[in-house]
Structure 1
Amino acid sequence: MLRPLIVLCIIVSQCAVADVSVPKLISDHMVLQRDITIPIWGYADDGESVLVKLNGKPIGHSIGNKGKWQISLPAQAASGPHQLDIIANNRLTIKDVYFGDVWLASGQSNMELPMRRVAEDYPADIADADYPLIRQFKIPQIYNFKTPQEDFASGSWSPVTQDNISDVSAVALYFAKALYKHNGVAIGILNNALGGSPVEAWMSEEALQKFPESLAEGIRFRDDELIATITAADKAKDGRWYTELNKKDQGLVASTPWYSPELDDSEWDKFTIPGKRLLTEGENFNGVWWFRKTITLTAEQVANANTLRLGRIVDADEAYINGIKVGNTTYQYPPRRYSIPNDLLKEGQNTLAVRVIANSGRSEFVADKPYWLGTDQQHINIAGDWKVKTAAVMPPLAGGTFIRWKPMGLYNGLTAPLTHLPIKGVIWFQGESNVGQWHDYHTKFSTMIQDWRTKWGQGDFPFIFAQLANFMEKQAKPIDSAWAQLRQAQSQTLSEPNTAMAVTIDIGEWNDIHPTNKKTVGKRLALAARALALGEDVVYQGPEVASIQVQNNDLLLGFKHIADGLVLKSTDDHSFAIAGADGHFEWANAALINDKIRLSSPNIKQPVRVRYAWGDNPDAALYNSEQLPAVPFDEKVSTNPL
């Protein structure tokens, strides 16, 4: 019989052995990179023995050291499903594991944008969402300025199904679908994107050494008290502003609220939706204005109406039908799509009311967006005449401090834990937040690429990025453009080895920084991946200017990457501009001659500079035979090849 003291010692000894654990990335449904040695790692007490099996066969043994353990899984061909067993004091079983290609999808909102935001454009793709061998791991968006993180607070691998397609990155999904349909290899997507993030936020402390101002800004936010103080101050500031706004809003405090069907709005002004609030030069508007419209519906229309579409609104809104709130959006970018509860609409007259909050000095219902009531297949247009009345005027709402976008925070919190897992490559869509600092974007972006490759230790893995899409209103005259400068900086980054750029200058939207055509972006990125990552002989680049020759007062432009020839889709648009010695640009007449472009302008003698697709939202008429758009450029005239 054991003495009590001995029994106690045995119990204490057993309790002192902690369970072995693994990082969140190592979990059911994970995709591991094929054809490369893979580390399998985790956490254990010092001296604890850990055995790892693949499909029941031992593949490695490790002893806990400094709280960690690791084994090397020999390279595996594309295959699955497999099972990993991790056996120590406890046993962990990882099921449904595939070996395939793992891609890191990173950047800002145009990469983060989930399928639910583009569902209206791709109903068939939503309906057939059953891609069990395309899996996404969505990275928790928790920044850290102090140190690179080892693991995530949460996260899991999810095969793409009807249940979760709405949360999958649209660009990454179309990229993955194109590759999977091409070769049938499982695709793992590491969804590592955050809206609004500048490139500095994705750079490590080591990478930021070249940029002392950015580094100092990131280090400043290692102070938890500073973060708490700023966060509290911003919350209090916003709270005061909106509390005062709601007190002033006559539409809310009136005896008959302005969303009520009983309200008499006969004396209200008229307003045409879509449209902007008209302001005199230098004037701003911050506050609330209300909109109302009465529509008459038949019984059939009532039975077939389940959605209210209010386009896009600057800045925030609340929508009501017959006095009942049906939805709200707190900032300007998302599309307004609100579900209509059953039995809310009625045969005969129905009242629509929209409360719009302006906090940035302007307000509008954005043009060229859908405004209707009904279903996607059949609906009633509600654009046109509405009634409007201002309910409150406020001072501007002071801007906040977006701590999550500060330098190095996203690298440490989101990217660093991924560097332990081998990948096939990176797809990247970012740059909108750096337009105002385009002058150093090329240097920072290149530095980030170099640093990420160093951190992964896989050599020059493919890094494929999307160039900024066309955006904002077209200009009647050639102008300088920060958006064009940022695109040029992106083009310059192609000097980094094993990089490629998907040009998207033709698939943006003038009125939306988040264009919905993510399918084309994904497909163009996938073409580049087939060339860089899979080693295929495939055309993946659009025409790129290679030579500029002067012929009298004309210019003759030669291009590379033309495939079977150049395609000039229009000769009377404003794709090209040329300038003389005074630097003043004029639109150029363009003609396609023997796979070269001849440019001329009656107003320019002896041109010294030429631009193509240069502007916020320029015309872009030049393609190759594979329908890939030409790369925008701004070049000096030379008689020699570029």
Structure 2
Amino acid sequence: MKPIKWMFSVAVLIGSMAPAIADAEVKLPSIIGDNMVLQRGQKVPIWGWDEPGQEVKVTIQGTSKTGTANENGRWEVIFEDLETGANNEVQIVGSSERTLKNVAVGEVWLCSGQSNMEWTVNNSINAAEERAAANYPLIRHIKIPHTPMKTPQDNVPSNGWEVTTPETVGNYTAVGYFFALNLQAQLDVPIGLIGSNWGGTRIEPWTPPVGFKEVPALKSIADNLDSYPQVSPEGKVNHQSPLALYNGMISPLVPYAIRGAIWYQGESNRHDGMLYFEKMKALISGWRHLWNNPEMPFYYVQLAPYRYKGEDVILPKVWEAQTEALTIPNTGMAVTVDIGNVDDIHPRNKQDVGYRLALWALAKTYGHDDLVYSGPLFKSMEVKGNKIVLSFDHVGDGLASRDGEPLSHFEVAGENGEYKPAKAEIKGDTVVVSSKDVPMPKSVRLGWHQEAEPNLSNKNGLPASPFRAGE
């Protein structure tokens, strides 16, 4: 009878082990899956999890790489020189097998910020026409759900990558989609959009710890990172506190290879003034550290005019901070003073926003040197008697009044700092500003009001950014 007992014990032991063996499988982060777009021209990590010690073989375009799961089960392989195109398969063989289908290789952009970035194609102008025309199988989109977390995560649940069709495009980030349309038309390569955005959010939750640490003006946050994000007694993470969205919505994307980021945010930080520039420095530097790319392109949208409650110069101070962020290398700003709606914080014309961001990317990232990619940006001023002569960068084919009317929203001030409406005239590539009420002008400003929609532009149809100088 003893042999029978021994055999029974072995059978029980084997039976108890079977579920664990059956559960062993290759697992992937949600950012890696069917229909994804991999970044061309860069090192491309593919990673996931398996049993510790398990070898995992990944094959793309006939090239195989092998990695071994570490003590935490994580494995990673890196591909280089992937061929641009679509209809690739990615085969992954570890303790189980996975085949990812319809994988493309092209350009990948992170689309982040608050509601104007999250704003969908469905809610933009001409939505029905845009949906009907959306047969673009080379444009793909993945939406990252709202996921504030207490600590940095290595994965975030999502519905995965979608191919652009009339049925799917309606829920895409509109700014990102129209950005992608313009890139795809010029580059003729697949475009991948990672929509990690959340309406109403501040900039601080999106910023990694390293970003705060690099900006002295944000020392009060950097010195107290252990206390962030804030968590309620019930365990709910405050999604508006520093680190919350970095932890849950950015960290899980790393190290997925991307070309760069586009950003539309600032409404919730509009009281920051020039401090917003410091916070942009922290965000940009932080993300560049995450992706180990100190030159990663970062293009953003200057807020549109809007009738906020409170002081009417609060918004212009944020415009000023956003303009100052252009001093950060490899950044660009789409100005929107002419395509907003002072009665709607969510202007529905996202087509032109995406187009203007794409101009920056095409010119600065993709080498299309012939493009005029920005409207006039203040360069310098010179006082000449009772006039101020203004010079601009990005005059393009010449300065112009967008609507053919006299130039609007210029003001000058004398020694007393009291601004008066000014007459402004285009003289070659300069603007000459004067006021009969200010015989000895010292300073000048353009569009210094939250509802201002100044008409100075270049002949290429791109508007000038508000500014002040001489104060």
TM-score, structure 1 length as denominator? 0.68
One-letter amino acid of the counterpart of residue 504, structure 1:
T
Query: 1:103, 1:189 within 8 Å by CA — same for their partners in 2?
Result: yes
Residue 556 of structure 1: aligned partner: 389
Deviations 1:423-443 (A, max 9, x none): 011000011111112231111
CA distance in 2, matches of 1:218, 1:445: 21
1:253-292 equivalent positions in 2, closer than 5 A: none
- 1:482 equivalent to 2:317? Answer no
Task: Determine helix, strand or coil for the equivalent of 1:436.
Answer: coil
- 1:608 equivalent to 2:442? Answer yes
One-letter amino acid of the counterpart of residue 141, structure 1:
H
1:387-402 equivalent positions in 2, closer than 5 A: none
Query: 1:51, 1:62 within 8 Å by CA — same for their partners in 2?
Result: yes
Query: 1:422, 1:458 within 8 Å by CA — same for their partners in 2?
Result: no
Deviations 1:94-126 (A, max 9, x none): 0000001000000110000011112x5343212
Query: 1:571, 1:591 within 8 Å by CA — same for their partners in 2?
Result: no
Residue 336 of structure 2: aligned partner: 504
Query: Residue 550 and residue 197 in structure 1: after superposition, are their counterparts in 2 closer, same or farther (change >3 A)?
Result: same
Question: Which of 207, 225, 241 is the aligned partner of 1:203?
Answer: 207
Query: 2:229, 2:242 within 8 Å by CA — same for their partners in 1?
Result: no
Q: Is the radius of gyration larger for structure 1 or structure 2? A: 1
One-letter amino acid of the counterpart of residue 137, structure 1:
I
Q: Which runs of 5+ in 1 are unaligned?
A: 232-402, 638-642
One-letter amino acid of the counterpart of residue 123, structure 1:
A
Residue 27 of structure 2: aligned partner: 21
- Cα deviation for residue 154 of structure 1 reads 2.6
Residue 301 of structure 1: aligned partner: none
Query: Residue 21 and residue 633 in structure 1: after superposition, are their counterparts in 2 closer, same or farther (change >3 A)?
Result: same
One-letter amino acid of the counterpart of residue 288, structure 2:
R
CA distance in 1, matches of 2:63, 2:433: 68
Residue 533 of structure 1: aligned partner: 365
Residue 138 of structure 1: aligned partner: 143
Question: Which of 44, 64, 68 is the aligned partner of 1:63?
Answer: 68
Question: Which of 430, 437, 446 is the aligned partner of 2:265?
Answer: 430
Query: 1:581, 1:607 within 8 Å by CA — same for their partners in 2?
Result: yes
1:91-490 equivalent positions in 2, closer than 5 A: 91-118=97-124, 120-144=125-149, 146-209=150-213, 210=216, 211-214=218-221, 216=224, 219=227, 221-223=229-231, 225-228=233-236, 403-472=238-307, 481-490=313-322
Deviations 1:299-345 (A, max 9, x none): xxxxxxxxxxxxxxxxxxxxxxxxxxxxxxxxxxxxxxxxxxxxxxx
Residue 327 of structure 1: aligned partner: none
Query: Residue 124 and residue 154 in structure 1: after superposition, are their counterparts in 2 closer, same or farther (change >3 A)?
Result: closer
One-letter amino acid of the counterpart of residue 621, structure 1:
N
Residue 588 of structure 1: aligned partner: 422
Query: Residue 151 and residue 30 in structure 1: after superposition, are their counterparts in 2 closer, same or farther (change >3 A)?
Result: same
CA distance in 2, matches of 1:20, 1:123: 41
- 1:86 equivalent to 2:86? Answer no
Query: 2:56, 2:68 within 8 Å by CA — same for their partners in 1?
Result: yes
Deviations 1:16-39 (A, max 9, x none): 442121111111000000111211
Deviations 1:522-548 (A, max 9, x none): 000000010122122021111122221
- Cα deviation for residue 3 of structure 1 reads 4.2
Runs of 4+ in 1 over 6 A off after TM superposition: none
Task: Determine helix, strand or coil for the equivalent of 1:178.
Answer: helix
Query: 2:36, 2:192 within 8 Å by CA — same for their partners in 1?
Result: yes
- Cα deviation for residue 500 of structure 1 reads 0.6
Query: 1:110, 1:514 within 8 Å by CA — same for their partners in 2?
Result: yes
Query: 2:211, 2:281 within 8 Å by CA — same for their partners in 1?
Result: no
Deviations 1:336-388 (A, max 9, x none): xxxxxxxxxxxxxxxxxxxxxxxxxxxxxxxxxxxxxxxxxxxxxxxxxxxxx
One-letter amino acid of the counterpart of residue 159, structure 2:
G
- Cα deviation for residue 207 of structure 1 reads 2.6
One-letter amino acid of the counterpart of residue 83, structure 1:
E
Residue 283 of structure 1: aligned partner: none
- Cα deviation for residue 13 of structure 1 reads 5.5
CA distance in 1, matches of 2:108, 2:259: 5
Query: 1:105, 1:192 within 8 Å by CA — same for their partners in 2?
Result: yes
One-letter amino acid of the counterpart of residue 91, structure 1:
E
Query: 1:121, 1:516 within 8 Å by CA — same for their partners in 2?
Result: no
CA distance in 2, matches of 1:218, 1:610: 45
Task: Determine helix, strand or coil for the equivalent of 2:129.
Answer: helix
Residue 630 of structure 1: aligned partner: 464
CA distance in 2, matches of 1:484, 1:521: 19
Question: Which of 41, 52, 57 is the aligned partner of 1:46?
Answer: 52
CA distance in 2, matches of 1:518, 1:148: 32
- Identity in percent: 34
One-letter amino acid of the counterpart of residue 485, structure 1:
K
TM-score, structure 2 length as denominator? 0.92
- Cα deviation for residue 480 of structure 1 reads 5.8
- Cα deviation for residue 222 of structure 1 reads 4.8
- Cα deviation for residue 461 of structure 1 reads 1.0
CA distance in 1, matches of 2:138, 2:296: 23
Query: Residue 468 and residue 223 in structure 1: after superposition, are their counterparts in 2 closer, same or farther (change >3 A)?
Result: closer
CA distance in 2, matches of 1:168, 1:529: 20
Residue 313 of structure 1: aligned partner: none
What RMSD in Å do the two structures reach over aligned CA positions?
A: 2.3
